[in-house]
Amino acid sequence: MSDTESTLKNRPAAQLASEKIVQEAELAGLEGLRNTKIPLNNGSDEIPALGFGTLIPDPIATKEATRTALEVGFRQFDCAERYRNEEHVGEAMRG
């Protein structure tokens, strides 16, 4: 097993999920898109062009990933009652 594999294996799932968010955004060149807003059809307001999905099976990873998403600038979150993670997403948003 390489040093990288050993390091990754010993990290908590939540930390890996948080790091993955940042890496994927950087690799995809989403820095600018993350701050882009799209006007609503009625002209009353605008919404972020990029949202963060909260369908993450592990409750601890959900909380950590949501917290990291907030820290790196996400302001639109895909949440649904069927995800059954409202408590964990809410805790992350409350700080």
pLDDT in tens, 79-89: 999 999 999 99
**Domain range holding 45?**
13-94
> Does some domain include residue 39?
yes
> Does some domain include residue 87?
yes
Helix 59-71 crosses helix 86-94 at what angle (to 10 degrees)? Answer: 40
> Does some domain include residue 81?
yes
> Does some domain include residue 38?
yes
> Does some domain include residue 82?
yes
pLDDT in tens, 61-75: 999 999 999 998 888
- Active site amino acids: 83
Give the predicted TM-score (pTM) of the model: 0.63
pLDDT of res. 17? 63
Domain count of the fold of the chain? 1
> Does some domain include residue 4?
no
